[in-house]
Amino acid sequence: MTFRITDIRKQCETILNQIGISQYMQEPSSEIINAQFVQLANFHDGRIVVVDEDFTVIKDTFALTVGKTMIAPDVIDCFHGKERSSYDADNNYIQQAVPVKDPVNKRVIGVVVITASTQSIVDSLEILNQKATVLIVLILILCGTVAFFAAHQMVRPFGEMGKRIEVLSDGFIDEKMQMHNYKELEILTSSINKMIDRMKILNDTRQEFVSNVSHELKTPMTSIKVLADSLLMQEDAPVEMYKEFMTDIVDEIDRENKIIEDLLSLVKLDKNSNDLNIAAVDINEFLELTLKRLQPIAAKRNIELLLESFRPVRAEIDEVKLTLAVSNLVENAIKYNEDNGWVHVSLNADHKFFYITVSDSGIGIPKESQSFIFERFYRVDKSHSREIGGTGLGLAITRNAVLLHRGTIQVSSEENKGTTFTVRIPLNYVVS
Ligand code: ADP
């Protein structure tokens, strides 16, 4: 309301000057001034009252109080030189008391009390409020609609992605995801595609493994069947023949058993590292014991089996699983060796790892085969290996056991000279 009060005050100014210089306070009959009062009162939809020094009303645009005394606090204050204005919010009007001063000695010779209705402002405010409310509601509806459609638009690709993932989980992993709606989605699809690639590799490996297993398990069975059939077909087969064939059948059964045993070890090692039974072990003692067990096999072919230890080593390992790894390496070093050859096992360590090397004076591994020897069922020379009695699973078992210990395994070999496997394992087991 302040602007309204200032407005009225300004409009009053000229009339007050005229009252001051004219004799209006003595004789309020000036038609020009009265007309101005009426005009001002009408303009503000209000009332103007003029009070003289004796607190007598000399002019009232409503003509109700002329001649009467008006001793209102605002009027008294005005005679003391203080202008007063007040706002009555209940009845919607502003009242302002303005002093009339003598132009010569600046003494207050009267007071003009202006009452202006603020109803029109209140009405306008109400209309404005209503309009603002309607506008806000409209904006809210508009924002809501835009947000709904925008959200729908943004979420749609995720729905599409969900459907494709469902198709994936049904086993159709040949198709790659292509979504370029926005950057985040591209990153997500690229991660999913990587996962699909990995799933494909796993799936292929699994299929290959199953077909290899079936094939490997079938081979001894086929031999057993052929041997048994040929015995059955021969009437009056001599006992010697029976004995010979039966020995072959027993060999084949042993072979089948060995494959199953190796497969079971491999399956156990394929599980995650939670299945490890880690304990601090004296590695020197551990190797001595492992080699002692294998000594008779080496002795059969007069192969020298030696352990060379450079320092005492204590490390956190799963003894059973690492025994499998080392035994396989030493067994291979004996198996693929010449008679009267040698197998040297060494143990060393630094502040972080311990190193076991298994070297032999054997037949060696051709360069082109070295990267495949850790694959399941891979054998350099199938017929020779069969004769020797391999399953092709030994090095896969070794590698898995080493990896479970967060270790590494490397091979260096030269044909007809020998092979060295180097295993490196952390002294302290690191939980991932
Ligand atoms: P296998 O049961 O046939 O021995 P492995 O997985 O232990 O299976 O080894 C895979 C192949 O790697 C073997 O068939 C053999 O050809 C080759 N190989 C492994 N160790 C040696 C070695 N010390 N010297 C020569 N060849 C080896």
**Which of ligand 1's atoms lies nearest the C-alpha of 374?**
6
The answer to whether 168 and 196 are in contact (CB under 8 A) is yes
| Cα gap 251→219, rounded to integer Å | 12
331 lines ligand 1 (CB under 6 A): no
Cβ of 385 below 6 Å from ligand 1: yes
Does the CB atom of residue 249 touch ligand 1 within 6 A? no
| Mean pLDDT in residue range 363-374 | 94
CA dist list (Å): 287 to 81, 312, 356, 426: 114, 11, 9, 16
pLDDT on residue 361:
97
Residue nearest to atom 11 of ligand 1 (CA): 379
Confidence band of 193 (pLDDT split at 50, 70, 90): confident
Q: Which of 222, 204, 219, 246 is nearest to 391 (CA)?
A: 219
For residue 155, name the pLDDT band (cuts at 50, 70, 90).
confident
Q: What is the pLDDT of residue 386?
A: 63
Q: How far apart are CA 106 and CA 102, in angstroms?
A: 5
pLDDT in tens, 15-53: 877 887 788 888 888 888 888 888 888 888 889 999 998
Residue 1 has pLDDT above 70, yes or no: no
Per-residue pLDDT for 309 more than 90?
yes
Q: What is the pLDDT of residue 315?
A: 97
Token pair 């790894």 in the structure block, residue: 325
* Residue 311 pLDDT level (bands cut at 50, 70, 90): very high
394 Cβ closer than 6 Å to some ligand 1 atom: yes
**Alpha carbon of 340 to ligand 1 centroid (Å):** 19
Cα 275 to averaged position of ligand 1 atoms, centre (Å)? 27
**pLDDT at residue 239 is higher than 80:** yes
Q: In whole angstroms, give the CA distance from residue 62 to residue 49.
A: 8
Which pLDDT does position 195 carry in this prediction? Answer: 86
**Strands 353-360, 408-414: pairing kind:** unpaired
Nearest-CA residue for ligand 1 atom 16 is: 380
Per-residue model confidence (pLDDT) at position 2: 65
| Mutual angle of helices 239-270 and 319-335, in 10-degree steps | 140
- Ligand 1, residue 391: give the atom nearest the CA: 2
Pocket test for ligand 1, best of 258, 265, 357, 373 (most atoms within 8 A of CB): 373
Tokens of residue 211, six digits: 């077909």
Question: To test the ligand 1 pocket, which listed residue (303, 327, 395) has its Cβ within 8 A of the most ligand atoms?
Answer: 395
The reply to whether ligand 1 has any atom less than 6 angstroms from the CB of 378 is: yes
Find tokens 């109803």 and name the residue.
119
The strand pairing partners of 60, in sequence order, are 49
By DSSP bridging, strand 279-282 and strand 418-426 are unpaired
**What's the pLDDT band for 330 if we cut at 50, 70, 90?**
very high
- Of 216, 266, 332, the residue with max ligand 1 atoms within 8 A of its CB, to mutate for a pocket test, comes to 332
Whether residue 343 has its Cβ less than 6 Å from ligand 1: no
Distance CA 397, CA 73 (A): 108
Average pLDDT over residues 142-160: 89
Using a 6 Å cutoff on CB, does residue 40 contact ligand 1?
no
Supply angle C-alpha 48, 50, 53, rounded to 5: 160
Distance (angstroms) between ligand 1 centre and the Cα of 395 equals 7
User: How many CB atoms lie under 10 A from the CB of residue 193?
Assistant: 14
The model's pTM: 0.59
- CA-nearest residue for atom 19, ligand 1, is 332
User: Is the CB of 380 inside a 6 Å radius of any atom of ligand 1?
Assistant: yes
Measured CA to CA, the distance from residue 230 to residue 269 in angstroms comes to 40
Ligand 1 center to 365 CA (angstroms): 8
pLDDT value of position 272: 65
Q: Is the CB of 390 under 6 A from ligand 1?
A: yes
d(CA 108, CA 79): 6
pLDDT at residue 111 greater than cutoff 80? yes
SS (H, E, C) the chain: CHHHHHHHHHHHHHHHHHHHHCCCCCCCCCHHHHHHHHHHHHHCCCEEEEEECCCEEEEECCCCCCCCECCCHHHHHHHCCCCEEEEECCCCEEEEEEEEECCCCCCEEEEEEEEEECHHHHHHHHHHHHHHHHHHHHHHHHHHHHHHHHHHHHHHHHHHHHHHHHHHHCCCCCCCCCCCCCHHHHHHHHHHHHHHHHHHHHHHHHHHHHHHHHHHHHHHHHHHHHHHHHHHHCCCCCHHHHHHHHHHHHHHHHHHHHHHHHHHHHHHHHCCHHHCCCEEEEHHHHHHHHHHHHHHHHHHCCCEEEEEECCCCEEEECHHHHHHHHHHHHHHHHHCCCCCCEEEEEEEECCCEEEEEEEECCCCCCHHHCCCCCCCCCCCCHHHHHHHCCCCCHHHHHHHHHHHCCCEEEEEEECCCEEEEEEEEECCCCCC
pLDDT at residue 243 tops 80: yes
390 Cα nearest atom in ligand 1:
2
Q: Which residues contact 363 (CB under 8 A, 6 or more apart)?
A: 336, 337, 338, 415, 416
Which has more pLDDT, 424 or 62?
424
Q: Best substitution site from 266, 327, 336 to test ligand 1's pocket, by max atoms within 8 Å of Cβ?
A: 336
Atom of ligand 1 nearest to the CA of 363: 25
pLDDT band (50, 70, 90) for residue 385: low
